[in-house]
């Protein structure tokens, strides 16, 4: 498989990694699972005892420089999960109709960014990227 990013062609060769599994830790896991299923609309399967695993539509991964001061990023060894969409205003309007509350939208250079809270004090970023990914 060949994919293109910023005009350069890359080949996966033999793919060992099939995907990425993300996790949120919450003091309210049942409420968080319901939020992901009912408000964000992610399909899921129950792998036992109400433990839901959610199907994600697409994933990508970035590697950012660490910032020990915390002013322009996160400390080394940390990680973050963000959701992205094609149209931030439309997505926010749809989710607000389902009861999701958002912080003020900011221009972060790479795109338009907002945050929302999920059960268990889980803060999540939602953004509309300005960059274009081209994978073949």
Residue 7, pLDDT > 80, answer: no
Residue 136, pLDDT > 60, answer: no
Range of the domain at 49: 20-58+79-129
Is residue 63 domain-resident?
no
46, β-bridge pairs = 52
Q: Domain of 119: which CATH number?
A: 3.10.180.10
Total structural domains in the chain?
1
The more confident residue out of 32 and 7 is: 32
Is residue 46 domain-resident?
yes
Is residue 97 domain-resident?
yes
For residues 24 and 6, give the distance between their C-alpha atoms in angstroms, rounded to a whole number: 31
91: alpha, beta or left? (left if phi > 0; alpha if psi -120 to 50):
alpha
Is residue 65 domain-resident?
no
24: its two tokens: 């949120």
Phi, psi of 67 (to 5 degrees): -135, 105
Is residue 67 domain-resident?
no
27: alpha, beta or left? (left if phi > 0; alpha if psi -120 to 50):
alpha
Is residue 108 domain-resident?
yes
Is residue 103 domain-resident?
yes
For residue 86, the model assigns a pLDDT of 95
For residue 69, the model assigns a pLDDT of 80
């Amino acid at each position: 498989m060949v994919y293109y990013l910023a005009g350069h062609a890359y080949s996966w060769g033999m793919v060992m990694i099939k995907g990425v599994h993300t996790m949120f830790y919450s003091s309210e896991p049942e409420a968080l699972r319901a939020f992901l299923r009912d408000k964000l609309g992610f399909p899921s399967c129950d792998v036992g005892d109400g433990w839901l695993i959610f199907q994600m539509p697409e994933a990508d991964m970035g590697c950012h420089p660490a910032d020990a001061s915390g002013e322009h990023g996160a400390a080394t060894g940390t990680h973050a999960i963000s959701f992205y969409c094609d149209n931030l205003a439309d997505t926010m309007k749809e989710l607000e109709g389902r009861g999701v509350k958002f912080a003020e939208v900011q221009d972060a250079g790479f795109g338009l960014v907002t945050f929302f809270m999920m059960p268990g004090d889980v803060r999540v970023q939602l953004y509309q990227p300005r960059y274009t990914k081209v994978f073949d």
